């Protein structure tokens, strides 16, 4: 492996270096292939495995073949420490992933985002003195890695707390001005550290102050986030974690980290833009921390609530031609995905065409409903995106809304004072009949009234979603 093949800029280039570079290229190809497979639910599991294999290859070849500028490999003691850390982390990750409930999946994603951001920030913090002694590019990527990694860490932890109900919202109007000011101060300090030219020992205070400001901005950036906007924030934080990892790759001149981080960051940003479009929001609203805050629904005259009996619901569904099921977070909270799949199978056996209408931001993270229904073995072909299902909603005999609220709220169309005004929704109100399954008359995650409840075509089926679905299935079977 130490056979010298040539020199590049005065540095010796060995066979081991060639193998290492080729392994990074192959790892990058596996990342891209895995990312492509992740774009479809039926292949997503294999895509995750291929991408993980690429990362495993990059880690293995780095441990075996990496050499510093002096030609020295990684000390054996450090290798064993790294392997031990990987082993411990893998065991903990496996246990957590196997035990986590589907309702807590968004929290798990936020926590994983936080760990990635923290790792990148620590790398930048440790390498700052070396970067100060190096060139401009090294210093720039180190400072950016610290800022982005810290924001991703603290922001993701606050997102975790909010999703888990441990952290509340702050909707004060002045928060946006505080966030803008703090962001500008943080960037200004970062620029000062990059361009000052002062020796590292004299800038120790600056790098730690930058760490504190970045962590604080991550907290205040996510605190005002409310309503149904959390999927967008999770996607953005995921993108920041990827960008921070890429900065770490630049610090260590590690092509695998750079490519992996860029792919995660780019995919996260594309998803964020799609989420923003689905919420009719701008990315600027997210960055300044005004996302999801403010806005009060104008007053409406509440109509009459009409309930439906299980027997009547069973008859209506059994003699329908088209039924659309619209799932939301309440379906995940009730762990009712398997029961809704059983209802779907029974109706299809009676000749009913059953589809699921999926809103891009239904649930608490991007793709939450897709993952939930895939767990229950619902066929992907039956999951129809909002834009494709809406034109056919007037022809639907029954729309069954299970745990969804804001994504079917007509206030998005007719209430200019509503926080969700202008947000694209699933047009459940156009269906011929509407059945809403809810525990009670509670408001959705956006905290606003849903006047679909009072629509003359709407019937409420109160109770726990899983229990109600089980009773409905039994009622249809007995017919």
Catalytic residue set:
406
d(CA 419, CA 406): 10
d(CA 205, CA 149): 19
Q: Which residues make beta-bridge pairs with 401?
A: 326, 436
Q: Which residues make beta-bridge pairs with 434?
A: 399, 458
d(CA 392, CA 7): 65
Those residues whose C-beta lies under 8 Å from the C-beta of residue 380, and which sit 6 or more positions away, are 40, 41, 42, 374
DSSP for 54-94 reads HHHHHHHHHHHH-B-TTS-B--HHHHHHHHHHHHHHHHHHH
Measured N-to-C along each axis, helices 230-252 and 255-279 cross at an angle, to the nearest 10 degrees, of 160
Angle at 428 between CA 426 and CA 433, to 5 degrees: 165
Those residues whose C-beta lies under 8 Å from the C-beta of residue 280, and which sit 6 or more positions away, are 422, 423, 424
Nearest to 409 by CA among 368, 443, 385, 366: 443
d(CA 258, CA 339): 44
DSSP for 392-405 reads GGGG-SEEEEES--
Nearest to 252 by CA among 122, 148, 124, 144: 124
- DSSP secondary structure code for residue 307 in this structure: B
Nearest to 167 by CA among 219, 213, 215: 219
Token reading at 122: 């620590």
Those residues whose C-beta lies under 8 Å from the C-beta of residue 170, and which sit 6 or more positions away, are 223, 224
**Count of CA atoms in the C-beta half-sphere (13 A) of 255:** 16
CB 139 within 8 A of CB 131: yes
d(CA 174, CA 161): 22
Nearest to 183 by CA among 300, 287, 323: 287
């Amino acid at each position: 492996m130490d056979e010298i093949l040539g020199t590049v800029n005065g540095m010796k280039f060995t066979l081991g270096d060639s193998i290492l570079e080729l392994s990074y290229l192959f790892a990058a190809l596996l990342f891209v292939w895995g990312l492509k497979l992740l774009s479809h639910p039926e292949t997503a599991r294999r895509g995750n495995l291929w991408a993980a294999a690429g990362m495993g290859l990059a880690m293995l070849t780095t441990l075996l073949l990496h050499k510093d500028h002096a030609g020295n490999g990684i000390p054996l003691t450090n290798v064993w420490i790294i392997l031990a850390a990987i082993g411990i982390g893998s065991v903990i990750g496996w246990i957590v992933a196997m035990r986590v409930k589907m309702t807590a999946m968004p929290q798990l994603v936020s926590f994983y985002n936080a760990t990635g951001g923290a790792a990148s920030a620590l790398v930048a913090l440790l390498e700052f003195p070396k970067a100060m002694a190096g060139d401009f590019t090294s210093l720039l990527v180190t400072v950016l890695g610290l800022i982005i990694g810290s924001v991703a860490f603290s922001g993701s932890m606050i997102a975790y707390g909010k999703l888990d109900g441990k952290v509340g919202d702050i909707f004060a109007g002045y928060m946006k001005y505080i966030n803008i000011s703090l962001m500008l101060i943080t960037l200004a300090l970062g620029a000062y550290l990059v361009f000052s030219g002062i020796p590292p020992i004299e800038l120790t205070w600056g790098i730690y102050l930058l760490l504190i400001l970045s962590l604080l901005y991550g907290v205040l950036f996510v605190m005002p986030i409310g309503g149904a906007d959390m999927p967008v924030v999770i996607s953005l934080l995921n993108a920041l974690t990827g960008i921070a990892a890429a900065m770490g790759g630049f610090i260590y001149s590690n092509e695998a980290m750079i490519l992996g981080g860029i792919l995660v960051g780019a995919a996260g940003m594309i998803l964020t833009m799609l989420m923003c479009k689905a919420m009719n929001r701008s990315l600027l609203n997210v960055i300044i921390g005004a996302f999801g805050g403010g806005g009060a629904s104008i007053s409406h005259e509440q109509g009459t609530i009409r309930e439906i009996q299980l027997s009547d619901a069973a008859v209506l569904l059994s003699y329908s031609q088209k039924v659309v099921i619209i799932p939301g977070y309440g379906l995940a909270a009730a762990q009712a995905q398997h029961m809704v799949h059983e209802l779907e199978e029974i109706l299809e056996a009676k000749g009913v065409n059953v589809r699921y209408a999926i809103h891009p931001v239904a649930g608490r993270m991007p793709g939450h409903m897709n993952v939930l229904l895939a767990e229950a073995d619902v066929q992907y072909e039956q999951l129809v995106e909002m834009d494709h299902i809406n034109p056919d909603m007037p022809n639907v005999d029954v729309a069954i809304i299970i745990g969804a609220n804001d994504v079917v709220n007509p206030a998005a169309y007719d209430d200019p004072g509503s926080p969700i005004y202008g947000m694209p929704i699933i047009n459940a109100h156009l269906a011929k009949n509407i059945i809403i399954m809810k525990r009670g008359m509670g408001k959705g995650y956006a905290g606003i009234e849903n006047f679909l409840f009072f629509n003359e075509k709407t019937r409420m089926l109160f109770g726990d979603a899983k229990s109600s679905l089980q009773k409905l299935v039994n009622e249809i079977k007995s017919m």
